[in-house]
Amino acid sequence: MKTRRIALTVNGETVEREVPVRQNLVDFLRHDLGFTGSHVGCEQGACGACTVVLDDQTVRGCLVLAVQADGATVETIEGVQLDDLRAAFHRLNALQCGFCTPGMLLSARELLRDNPNPSRQQIRDYLSGNFCRCTGYQAIVDAVETVALERLP
């Protein structure tokens, strides 16, 4: 099995590891580094459960190889400050089983960074790469909308 040594920054920590070249980023984060907050739901880039942030952009952790993250900065749900989004998700019950939630929060964070005042349909469209089987989405949209309004000056 071919391996390669990589060095990257994950949640502010510098890590160096020897990884199989076929290993994807989310498996590396989960199983080699123990950041199990990113989840694996489909391994084909459809469900969004493995969403992580790679050099300031959300990516599917299952569609990026660990070796592609060599030299990059990676953030996972464990490493981001999202107090207001988390509080709104909690208060409005915008999660049930919580399996999609890390990916959903990271996508919502990116949306609000790029579009601080989104319409409900813009929120729905932006989050349409993150499958949630439990909530029916409305509470998630409510939570993101609430935080957007709270953050407006």
Which residues lie near another protein (CB under 8 A)? 20, 22-23, 30-31, 35-44, 46-47, 49, 76-78, 86, 89-93, 95-102, 105, 120-121, 123-125, 127-141
* Shortest CB 30 distance to another protein, Å: 7
Residue 5 or 90 having the CB closest to another protein? 90
Q: Nearer to another protein by C-beta: 5 or 133?
A: 133
Nearest distance from C-beta of residue 127 to another protein, angstroms: 4
> Shortest Cβ distance from residue 153 to another protein (Å)?
26
Closer CB to another protein, 71 or 125, in the complex: 125
Min separation Cβ 110 and another protein, Å: 15
Q: Which is nearer to another protein, 116 or 136 (CB)?
A: 136
Angle of helix 83-91 versus helix 101-114 axis, rounded to 10: 120
